[in-house]
Amino acid sequence: MKVKAQRVNAIVQLIENNRVGSQDELLTLLEQLGFKTTQATLSRDLKALKVAKQPDYDGGYVYVMPENQVPEESELSYGDFPLGGILSLEFSGNLAVIKTRPGFANGIASVIDSHGPYEVLGTIAGDDTILLITRETVSRTGVVSGLSLFMPGIRDKVVG
Amino acid sequence: MKVKAQRVNAIVQLIENNRVGSQDELLTLLEQLGFKTTQATLSRDLKALKVAKQPDYDGGYVYVMPENQVPEESELSYGDFPLGGILSLEFSGNLAVIKTRPGFANGIASVIDSHGPYEVLGTIAGDDTILLITRETVSRTGVVSGLSLFMPGIRDKVVG
DNA sequence: ACTTTGCTTGTATAATTATTCAAGAAAAAG
DNA sequence: CTTTTTCTTGAATAATTATACAAGCAAAGT
């Protein structure tokens, strides 16, 4: 019976590509792909896959694959944009701290400055840290969206 | 109320050092440390801390801290810590400013970075000033406590 | 003083997730 | 082929976790 294998495969894809926040949500997504099952089975599948449920930065929850728990070095892309230099993005109040690889902070900060996204008032860069002052009226998801316009993949760097 | 800050600190320690598998379990551990609270509060604390619940190898579940930790060179001994370079530590909102003697800022900031205390999101250093961005959920005394773990005497530098 | 505002918390409950139980299906053994 | 064992699953339920609500409290303003 390879139904299970296919379903498990689909679950992995769905969790990696969408922001799945509950098992019922996952259940619906699977139905749209033609898998019909129950929440009980999903609970078992998720346990077998070691998928963790983590609080999201926007106030909800997300299921995350175990290897996504640790920022993956393998996906460093030094192509268009030196996103590989970015290790994490974390918020505190109306500030955001971007951790970079040593020496990257100034370069990345100047890229942000040159694009001047509305949500960002300004940046200050050290050697491996960028401090980002956000506009008072914008949300955190708004800031991330603004950055992602020219920093594709930045969402994956958001911590917590 | 610094009860919350202390409790949150304790939660972090407990989760990092023990194999906590449920909120009730955590509740018991906290009671043994003298904290009396309820499951509801723990749920909120864990959400704020972005602690994830992950299936464990042994068939159970564990709570895990978000993995934004720096590799552990934290065992380095800074026995002769250049505390003399520090002139003052002062808070403003969720920021702290450390004034140092000229030229000391970068060195001291990198020491803080290498220890990566939980309470501190990141630092940016100039020549004689370090800006320290603190985590939203921690108190000022919590920050000072976190720093004093490897910067004995820092308390004496706190202004106000 | 008195409000007001915002934060923290507990109770009770809702929502979600895990597991028990039984049953059906496939593989393995006889 | 028949029996036995192992897997997988759904339904029901247990267990766990999240949240609505209200109360308590402190800081800040009037």
Verify that A57 and A18 share a domain, yes or no.
yes
Structural domains in chain B (count): 2
Verify that B54 and B94 share a domain, yes or no.
no
Domain containing B14 equals: 4-68
B53 in any annotated domain = yes
Cα A100 to Cα A120, A153, B150: the distances in Å are 18, 14, 24
Nucleotides of D under 7 A from a protein CB: 8-12, 16-20, 26
A61 touches strand C (CB under 7 A): yes
Assign residue B140 the CATH number of its domain: 3.30.1360.40
Verify that B64 and B113 share a domain, yes or no.
no
Average pLDDT over residues B26-30: 86
Burial B47-62 (b: 16+ CB within 10 A, else e): ebbbbbbbbeeeeebb
| A32-77 confidence digits (pLDDT tens) | 877 788 888 888 888 888 888 988 876 788 888 876 343 333 233 3
**CB < 8 Å to B50, chain A:** 54-55, 57, 159-160
Verify that B85 and B148 share a domain, yes or no.
yes
End-of-domain residue from the set A68, A102, A123: A68
d(CA B81, CA B158): 17
Compute the mean pLDDT over every residue in chain B, rounded to the nearest whole number: 73
A94 in any annotated domain = yes
Q: Which two tokens stand for residue B7?
A: 């409790």
In the structure, what pLDDT confidence band is assigned to residue B126 with cuts at 50, 70 and 90? confident
Indicate whether this model's pTM tops 0.95. Answer: no
End-of-domain residue from the set A19, A36, A68: A68
Verify that B32 and B58 share a domain, yes or no.
yes
End-of-domain residue from the set A23, A48, A68: A68
Verify that B110 and B151 share a domain, yes or no.
yes
In the structure, what pLDDT confidence band is assigned to residue A79 with cuts at 50, 70 and 90? very low
Q: Identify the residue whose tokens are 């996906």.
A: A75
- B77 φ/ψ angles, rounded to the nearest 5 degrees: -95, 120
- B142 Cβ partners below 8 Å, 6+ apart? B2, B5, B6, B8, B9, B119
Verify that A86 and A133 share a domain, yes or no.
yes
pLDDT of B155 higher than 60: yes
| B37-92 confidence digits (pLDDT tens) | 888 888 888 888 888 898 887 778 888 887 643 222 222 233 334 444 677 777 76
Verify that B99 and B63 share a domain, yes or no.
no
Check residues 1 to 40 of chain A and report those whose beta carbon is under 7 Å from nucleic acid strand C. Answer: 1, 22-24, 39-40
Verify that A84 and A147 share a domain, yes or no.
yes
Verify that B153 and B121 share a domain, yes or no.
yes
